[in-house]
């Protein structure tokens, strides 16, 4: 448990059972309903679905929505806050229909709403949100069509707010509202001077491209007053970045926003809603620090900071406590998806045994390497390290100049591996290890090839060095012995996971188990529900993975509630504009030509064409026979 930090990042949803499988406990502490991920993988494969699979545990989504609402409710009660909390889910964080459907379902009892930043997102939001007491927040740049969609939602009884991002939107909204004879609900997006730490610090501060600066806010206020429409201004919104790791920035942003809110009230706007945007972070690496993939606060602390900021600023001025909105997307959906994949192969660092007698060689390279191996000792460890790397380089040079054969070079590299491993194990017992020797560990990692595409399923690992928890989902009663990095199956050297949290073997490798002949080895990448699915791309034409959603019952049983087949080969080809019908036609002609030329028989032609058809229908990932 220590090794993979599951108790640190698992938020009580993920644990290890006595037989060494990762289990899911979607109801958190106090409920014993726990299911083994390994059992689920077996069932998924029995149902005919191949790895990789995104597994969604729907109850975890329910638990996270509950956590947000109940924590705010508790803090509101504790502090005597007079307003209420209404969350919205920003669709951009995971737009998949099944996800939004599940959020609408679980969120209904809490009036959890949706946030849209574009026309397709708004249409999706209106069609999914059945609950008129929930808020619909429209951010982003809006054209006439976007505005009409939102105004029609207001007409149908929805609380659909337009958040003004640029001053130019005001006139267009007022004009369309007049035409459609509906009173718009307006908000302002403030550009705060507060800038948060983390990966998205540019979302806040003077250089942010979003929102109105203070003079633009004054212009908008004046325009609304001129048009006699200041009474439509009900909401202030800001967003200073996703995944804000430091609570200090959350509080600083909230305090600044409350001051703006106070001024808007002083200007005569009715207000009533303050929308703190996103930013509530997920502790991906379990370190509970202000590192970019973590957070140094709990959900409860976040809620206290928001509520207390309002009470400090507005309460003191006797301003009615507004309804609090947050657009927390990441924390809502991250926990409920796990990417599951099997390991296809390992490129192992373990060398072949040293033969009793070294092969004959016209120079003394191999003898020197053997002597270096025998001499490895703590007092001369730096020297052994220098020699190993020197002779490795010499072997490569001699090979280039035709002075040793491929087999002799292989033997030399094999001896180098033995030396490096001996140096590494010797250094483990030393207190002061020279820097060069410490770096040797990096040369010893195995490469585990996982059946997935980093670019499709974990794009933030590639794009922003995001850390996600990764670990085997079974065999956790056996000690893993191989330090490894994980490679995907794209032909891209960036397609690898080689950045791990502190509790791993070292920050560049994870300890994994040796593969067994008779058994698949499965890994899970956890907390992947936010952003990864839609930001993923078709690099090397690896498509969407299969998705399976389960619902766990209180008695510990579970049912598969939704299944979504991933892209087939013909799907991904059509995404890049191939005409699959024309391709089939061309292949038929090629095969026919091969028959005419006598390269293949008529029977072989039939088999080849069948194989082609099957290939087009197949999954883009590695399939078992
Ligand atoms: N609201 C807005 C306007 C955003 O741009 C974002 C994402 O960056 C969010 C909400 C979601 O933020 P988070 O994922 O931190 O919850």
pLDDT exceeds 90 at position 262: yes
* Polymer length in residues for the chain: 625
Q: How far is the CA of 228 from the centre of ligand 1 (A)?
A: 32
E-strand ranges in 389-463 read: 446-450
DSSP codes of every residue in 363-385 = SSHHHHHHHHHHH--GGGHHHHH
Q: What is the mean pLDDT of residues 389-400?
A: 96
Average pLDDT, the chain: 94
Asked if 348 and 482 count as a contact pair (C-beta separation under 8 A), the reply is: yes
For ligand 1, pick from 88, 92, 295 the residue to mutate: most ligand atoms within 8 Å of CB. Answer: 92
pLDDT exceeds 80 at position 507: yes
The Cα 509–Cα 470 span in angstroms is 11
Nearest residue by C-alpha to atom 12 in ligand 1: 278
3-state secondary structure of 611: helix
Q: How far is the CA of 279 from the centre of ligand 1 (A)?
A: 6
For ligand 1, pick from 135, 239, 294, 334 the residue to mutate: most ligand atoms within 8 Å of CB. Answer: 239
Confidence tier at 505 by pLDDT (50, 70, 90)? low
Nearest residue by C-alpha to atom 10 in ligand 1: 278
Confidence tier at 373 by pLDDT (50, 70, 90)? very high
3-state secondary structure of 408: helix
The Cα 44–Cα 51 span in angstroms is 9
pLDDT exceeds 90 at position 360: no
Tens digit of pLDDT for each residue in 294-318?
999 999 999 999 999 999 999 999 9
Can you give the pLDDT at residue 612?
95
Radius of gyration of the chain (CA): 30
Tens digit of pLDDT for each residue in 2-31?
789 999 999 999 999 999 999 999 887 677
Ligand 1 binding pocket, CB closer than 6 Å: 90, 93, 115, 139, 239, 242-243, 277-280, 327-330
Count of other CB atoms within 10 angstroms of residue 251: 20
Q: Relative to the CA of 331, which ligand 1 atom is closest?
A: 16
The Cα 470–Cα 345 span in angstroms is 17
Q: How far is the CA of 539 from the centre of ligand 1 (A)?
A: 26
Q: How far is the CA of 83 from the centre of ligand 1 (A)?
A: 23
Listed as own residue / partner, the contacts of 578-581 with beta carbons closer than 8 Å and 24 or more positions apart are 580/616
Burial, 501: exposed, middle or buried (Cβ in 10 Å; 0-12, 13-18, 19+)?
buried
Nearest residue by C-alpha to atom 9 in ligand 1: 278
Q: How far is residue 536 from each of residues 14, 202, 276, measured CA to CA in Å?
A: 25, 22, 27
3-state secondary structure of 445: coil
The Cα 497–Cα 492 span in angstroms is 12
This complex has an ipTM of 0.99
Q: How far is the CA of 110 from the centre of ligand 1 (A)?
A: 20
- 71 Ramachandran zone, left/alpha/beta (phi>0; psi -120 to 50): alpha
Catalytic residues: 491
Tell me the three-class secondary structure of 237-261, residue by residue: ECCCCCCECCHHHHHHHHHHHHHHH
Q: Relative to the CA of 531, which ligand 1 atom is closest?
A: 14
Q: How far is the CA of 142 from the centre of ligand 1 (A)?
A: 18
DSSP codes of every residue in 491-549 = S-TT-EE----TTSSBTTBEEEPPPBTTB--EEEE-S--SSHHHH---GGG--PPEEEE
For ligand 1, pick from 67, 88, 278, 280 the residue to mutate: most ligand atoms within 8 Å of CB. Answer: 278
Asked if 124 and 91 count as a contact pair (C-beta separation under 8 A), the reply is: yes
Q: What is the mean pLDDT of residues 100-116?
A: 96
Q: Relative to the CA of 329, which ligand 1 atom is closest?
A: 16
Q: Relative to the CA of 117, which ligand 1 atom is closest?
A: 3
> Comparing 50-64, 258-272, 347-361, which segment has the lowest mean pLDDT?
347-361
Q: Relative to the CA of 90, which ligand 1 atom is closest?
A: 10
Count of other CB atoms within 10 angstroms of residue 78: 12
Confidence tier at 350 by pLDDT (50, 70, 90)? confident
Q: Relative to the CA of 189, which ligand 1 atom is closest?
A: 3
pLDDT exceeds 70 at position 45: yes
Q: What is the mean pLDDT of residues 256-271?
A: 98
| Angle separating helix axes 119-128 and 97-107, nearest 10 degrees | 50
Nearest residue by C-alpha to atom 8 in ligand 1: 242
pLDDT exceeds 70 at position 1: no
Nearest residue by C-alpha to atom 13 in ligand 1: 278
Token pair of 586 as six digits: 């061309």
Q: How far is the CA of 469 from the centre of ligand 1 (A)?
A: 22
Tens digit of pLDDT for each residue in 182-205?
999 999 999 999 888 887 777 777
The Cα 190–Cα 238 span in angstroms is 5
Cα angle value 441/446/452 (rounded, 5°): 130
Tens digit of pLDDT for each residue in 138-180?
999 999 999 999 999 999 999 999 999 999 999 999 999 999 9
| pLDDT above 70 as % of the chain | 99
Cα angle value 11/7/99 (rounded, 5°): 35
Q: What is the mean pLDDT of residues 585-604?
A: 97
Q: How far is the CA of 320 from the centre of ligand 1 (A)?
A: 27
Token pair of 222 as six digits: 């004046």
Count of other CB atoms within 10 angstroms of residue 132: 12
DSSP codes of every residue in 180-241 = HT-PPEEEEEB--S---SSTTGGGSSTT-SSSB-HHHHHHHHHHHHHTT-GGGEEEEE----
| Angle separating helix axes 169-180 and 144-155, nearest 10 degrees | 50
Nearest residue by C-alpha to atom 11 in ligand 1: 278
Nearest residue by C-alpha to atom 5 in ligand 1: 239
* pTM above threshold 0.90: yes
Q: How far is the CA of 51 from the centre of ligand 1 (A)?
A: 30
Q: How far is the CA of 89 from the centre of ligand 1 (A)?
A: 9
Can you give the pLDDT at residue 31?
72
Asked if 271 and 322 count as a contact pair (C-beta separation under 8 A), the reply is: yes
For ligand 1, pick from 329, 331, 335 the residue to mutate: most ligand atoms within 8 Å of CB. Answer: 329
Number of H-type helices and E-type strands within the chain: 21, 21
Q: Relative to the CA of 242, which ligand 1 atom is closest?
A: 15
| Angle separating helix axes 406-427 and 381-400, nearest 10 degrees | 160
Tens digit of pLDDT for each residue in 405-464?
999 999 999 999 999 999 999 998 899 999 999 889 888 899 999 999 999 999 999 999
Q: Relative to the CA of 530, which ligand 1 atom is closest?
A: 14
Residue 138, phi then psi, degrees to nearest 5:
-105, 105
The Cα 221–Cα 215 span in angstroms is 10
Q: How far is residue 171 from each of residues 156, 180, 226, 370, measured CA to CA in Å?
A: 23, 14, 11, 82
Q: What is the mean pLDDT of residues 277-287?
A: 96
């Amino acid at each position: 448990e220590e090794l993979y930090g599951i108790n640190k990042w698992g938020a009580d949803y993920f644990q290890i059972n006595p037989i060494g499988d990762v289990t899911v406990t979607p109801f958190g502490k106090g409920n014993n309903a726990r299911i083994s991920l390994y059992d689920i993988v077996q069932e998924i494969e029995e149902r005919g679905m191949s790895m990789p699979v995104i597994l969604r545990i729907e109850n975890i989504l329910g638990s996270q929505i509950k956590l947000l609402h109940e924590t705010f409710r508790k803090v509101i009660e504790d502090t005597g806050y007079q307003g209420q909390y209404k969350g919205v889910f920003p669709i951009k964080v995971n737009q998949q229909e099944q996800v939004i459907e599940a959020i609408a379902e679980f969120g209904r009892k809490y009036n959890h709403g949706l946030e849209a930043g574009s026309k397709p997102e708004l249409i999706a939001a209106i069609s999914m949100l059945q609950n008129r007491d929930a808020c619909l927040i429209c951010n982003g740049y809006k054209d006439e069509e976007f505005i009409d969609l939102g105004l029609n939602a207001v007409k149908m009884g929805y609380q659909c707010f337009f958040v003004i991002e640029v001053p130019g939107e005001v006139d267009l909204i007022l004009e369309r509202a007049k035409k459609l004879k509906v009173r718009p609900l307006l908000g302002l997006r403030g550009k705060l001077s507060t800038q948060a730490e983390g990966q998205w610090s540019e979302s806040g501060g003077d250089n942010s491209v979003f929102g109105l600066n203070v003079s633009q806010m004054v212009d908008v206020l004046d325009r609304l007053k001129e048009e006699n429409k200041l009474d439509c201004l009900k909401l202030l919104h800001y967003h200073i970045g996703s995944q804000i790791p430091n609570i200090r920035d959350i509080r600083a942003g909230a305090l600044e926003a409350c001051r703006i809110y106070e001024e808007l009230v002083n200007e005569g706007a009715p207000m009533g809603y303050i929308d703190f945007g996103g930013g509530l972070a997920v502790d991906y690496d379990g370190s509970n620090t202000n590192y970019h993939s973590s957070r140094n606060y709990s959900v409860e602390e976040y809620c206290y900071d928001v509520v207390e900021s309002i009470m400090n600023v507005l309460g003191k001025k006797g301003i009615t406590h507004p309804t609090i909105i947050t657009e927390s997307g990441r924390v809502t959906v991250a926990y409920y998806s796990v990417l599951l994949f099997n390991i296809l192969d390992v490129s192992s660092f373990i060398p072949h045994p040293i033969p009793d007698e070294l092969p004959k060689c016209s120079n003394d390279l191999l003898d020197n390497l053997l002597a270096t191996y025998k001499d490895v000792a703590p007092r001369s460890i730096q020297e052994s390290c220098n020699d190993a790397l020197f002779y490795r380089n010499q072997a490569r040079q001699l090979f280039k100049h035709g002075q040793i054969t491929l087999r002799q070079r292989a033997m030399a590299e094999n001896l180098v591996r033995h030396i490096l491993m001996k140096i590494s194990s010797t250094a483990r017992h030393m207190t002061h290890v020279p820097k060069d020797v410490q770096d040797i560990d990096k040369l010893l990692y195995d490469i585990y090839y996982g059946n997935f595409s980093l670019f499709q399923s974990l794009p933030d690992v590639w794009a922003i060095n995001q850390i996600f928890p990764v670990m085997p989902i079974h065999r956790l009663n056996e000690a893993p012995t191989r330090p490894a990095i994980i490679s995907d199956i794209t032909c891209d050297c960036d397609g690898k996971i080689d950045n791990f949290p502190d509790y791993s073997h070292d920050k560049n490798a994870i300890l994994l188990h040796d593969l067994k002949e008779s058994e698949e080895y499965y890994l899970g990448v956890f907390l992947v529900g936010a952003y990864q699915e839609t930001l993923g791309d078709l690099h090397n034409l690896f498509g969407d993975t299969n998705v399976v959603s389960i619902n766990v019952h209180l008695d510990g049983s579970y049912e598969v509630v939704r299944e979504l087949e991933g892209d087939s080969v013909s799907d991904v080809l059509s995404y890049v504009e191939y005409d699959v019908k024309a391709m089939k036609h061309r292949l038929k002609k090629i095969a026919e030509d091969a028959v005419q030329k006598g390269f293949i028989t008529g029977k072989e032609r039939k088999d080849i064409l069948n194989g082609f058809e099957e290939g087009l229908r197949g999954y883009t990932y590695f399939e078992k026979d």
